[in-house]
Amino acid sequence: MQKRKFIMGDDAMAMGAIEAGVKVVTGMEEVTEICRKAGVAVGTFITKPEDAKHWADRGIQYLMYSTDAGMMVQVSKDRLQALTAALK
């Protein structure tokens, strides 16, 4: 793995890949360990809540789940479903 010099003031890093293969996951685990030793918090993006424990157990310190746009779409779908049901 290539060494990375942390810039003064770096206090967090986000990384990840959707549908990651074994090599990517292994790389993420290695980077997580390097960052933790350097005092840099590490986070990743998850697509389902079930992935939270997997990454937390591997040292990830913060998780990003969904996006503002994704949440707006989901709430809109939920509201449309509720209105449609109320009109029946």
Chain segment 19-50, per-residue pLDDT in tens: 667 788 888 888 888 888 888 888 998 888 99
SS3 content of the chain, % helix, strand, coil (to 5): 45, 15, 40
Q: Label residue 78 by pLDDT band (50, 70, 90).
A: very high
Taking all residues of the chain, what is their mean pLDDT, rounded to a whole number?
A: 83
40 to each of 17, 25, 32, 64, how far by Cα in Å?
19, 19, 9, 17
| Residue 8 pLDDT exceeds 60 | no
Spatial distance between the Cα atoms of 80 and 15, rounded to a whole number of angstroms: 34
Residue 10: exposed, middle, or buried by beta-carbon count in 10 A (0-12, 13-18, 19+)?
middle
Q: Which residue has the higher pLDDT, 9 or 12?
A: 12
